[in-house]
Structure 1
Amino acid sequence: MTVLILTCEQDVTADMVVAELHKSCVPLVRFDPGDIPGEGALSAEYVRGEFRGYLSTGGRVVSMDGLRSIWIRRPGEPAAHASEPSPWLSAETGQALYGMLDSTTARWMNHPGAAARARLKPWQLRTAHRSGFPVPATIITTYPQVARRFAEQYRHVVVKAVSGKPPADPPMALPTTLVPPDADFSGVAAGPTLLQRYITKAADIRLTSVGDELFAARKVAEPGQVDGRYGETGHDWKPVDVPPRVARAVATYKDMAGLAYGAFDFAEDGDGTWWFLECNQGGQFGFIELQTEQPIAAAVAAWLGAEA
């Protein structure tokens, strides 16, 4: 049985898992959806109630009934490398590829449907509340007066993107930023704005959940630090134990989200409380493993290579 890894050519994190799968002698195929049509090819047959499908790349062919698991790591846009790419061709290719893969009995990390919903920040916040995480007070609004009242109530608030990094070339960075309570909120009417109560951080926490395994790392924050993704703090990531309450909330969240993998970000306050910020269903873990030596890649490989 074969593991299918959907990712682009340049993906160091995928390389780490591929190396672990090779150690375990688990057959795998690494495939970029951007290579269809062209370097890659597919065929699916639905006849008399039966399904047969095949995917090929680099001279290798994998049968859909021989798939053990599918890891959606960092796949390219379908048909991105076609001789005449177009939005229509990408849509057609994506429908064909993911529809064929969804016709199999393979396990997903993570299923495209679950992943798409899990990317929605408003849904994340509601699910985090229901899972038992402490979540900073948050609003998403296009009403300037609502934003102003929120800032006046909590005094120290931050603004952050609802959807993450915007598409651009070169890519734009949108760090989480403190907003003074006397700011001009009239621009809120121009588009949905996410405001959140600022948590004075003692540390950033990244918790990587692979199946039932948890790997948490902690990095001390600088005084007044707002967004730990930008700027050096002079501190490295260190392994840290997961509080039982957080472990239970992670399990509940992933069950509600239908996720096999999740990278959770928390802000740890001065009392040691881990405040939920977000869960990235496809978040990086390579940088954490390199600094902490936690065996995250091996855990991903073990999950993908396990028998159903």
Structure 2
Amino acid sequence: MAADDLPGTDEERAEAALIAAAANILGSGNRDVPEDFVVALFAHAVPEDLMRYDPRQLAELAADAWALLAVRKPGVPNIRFDAPALAGHDRLRVDSVLEIVNDDMPFLVDSVLAELTERGIDIHLVVHPVLSVLRDGAGRLTAFKGTKSVPGALRESIIYVHVERIDEQARRAAIVEAIERVLADVRVCVADWRAMVARVADVVAELKANPPPLPPGEIAEAIAFLEWLLDNNFTFLGIRDYGFTASQAALEPIFESGLGILRSRDMAVLRRWNEPLVITAQMRALLEQPTLLIVTKATVRSRVHRRVYMD
């Protein structure tokens, strides 16, 4: 099909022709990279961003991305962050390439991009295809099934990002370590999401079945608020119970109750480091009031979804 016969805008047709040319280069070079992988990787890029590259550059980049798919065990992301040194590719002299292969789940892209943005890193290109693949028991890729869901196939996310050139290997390594922490937070939040929702639903059910001795209007308002949260109006990142110390002077976490990011004993949202949250006179007065719900801000910002102080 000629470029003029492709559907879409002029930019989209030019992009499709560019991707097709890159796929042809890989095919003519007897590469093991399927042509439809090249299309899957780049098809949803912003045309303006992708048109900065020529077909040979895209072919080389796709071959590198394909190699990262070769072996991966479910539950463990593959992350590579390189400063390409491909001879004759002037455009790539100003780019570093971040590639992440992971189990598909919510919040991956926005969480990774938030980490890069917080570090002041300029982003040049982002694509995020989700692929269906088959792997053997050792995690080796045995079949690529395209972008559509296929019964029995794993759904894997590729986050493929070009950023400003970062030649310092130590700096790239530090960024990879930070992204590993981000992805670990995303994983536990997603894994525990149903359990967190169920725990809040249990609180609602208990309030309805055994209401505390408070004004009915306040109880109804609390129930309505919690049900509103449960109606996809809140991103649950973690749940943990707290109790008073023996002296009643501080709150300390009940670690075994933790879900999501609050599984970790190192995650302190109501205290500093390993110190319990000491109760001041003002705080005690607030806690002793017959109030059903208290909404406050944590002392740390989320690494999942949005970089804001958590509620």
Q: Taking structure 1 as the reference length, what is the TM-score of the superposition? A: 0.27
Q: Which has the higher strand share?
A: 1
Normalized per residue, the structure richer in helix is: 2
- Higher RCO (CA-CA < 8 Å; seq separation 6+): 1
Q: TM-score, normalised by structure 2?
A: 0.27
